[in-house]
Amino acid sequence: MKKLFILSIVLVLFTACQEQSKRYTQQSPEIETVKKAIQQYNAKNYDTSFYADTCKTYFNSDKFMTVEETMSFHKVNENYYSSRGFTDNDPEYEMVVTDDGETWVNCWLEWKGTMKETGKEITMPVHLTYRFADGKIVRQLGYWDPTEVILELQAIEASKKELSQQEAEASK
């Protein structure tokens, strides 16, 4: 009986001391991949090697973009800014493994851009989340409030239209 009791204690201690896989961490190869992707974005170097060919990106939408469409999206948006990128102001990164075994990296960042036409500086919080499979990003989601950028672009267009109308009237 005594041996059975000691064997039970040893068994409990052995199983309790076994290292279990982490379900949440702030340090992982996947987080480092996301940090590199953010650095590439800031450098305007759109390296697609981080992404699986079948990766789907959703930015403030339920419609996805392919990897190529996502890179085009970023390149087109370059035309609006004299400078832009994620700042080093308190970024947060975490990796979680879901109950279904999916690996996700979440990050909360600050984005800052200066409008090329007006010089107006816009700062906004951004939440990005990435699903990984076999070391590659297979899904990317991004959420932010684009209102200030949209209003500024609308004001720029209205100003251009008004100037064009004034020039047309002056030439009559």
What pLDDT does 165 receive? 75
The answer to whether the CB of 38 falls within 8 A of the CB of 108 is: no
157-161 average pLDDT score: 85
The answer to whether the CB of 130 falls within 8 A of the CB of 142 is: no
Q: How far is CA 28 from the centre of its chain?
A: 16
Closest CA to 70 of 48, 42, 90, 86: 48
The answer to whether the CB of 37 falls within 8 A of the CB of 137 is: yes
Mean of the per-residue pLDDT values for the chain? 89
Q: Tokens representing 154? A: 């609308």
> What's the rounded Cα separation, in Å, for the pair 118 and 125?
21
72-93 pLDDT tens trace: 999 999 999 999 999 999 999 9
* 3-class state of residue 28 by DSSP: coil
Single-letter amino acid, residue 43: A
pTM of the model as a whole: 0.81
Q: What is the DSSP letter of 123?
A: E
Question: Residue 135: CB partners within 8 Å, gap ≥ 6?
Answer: 29, 30, 33
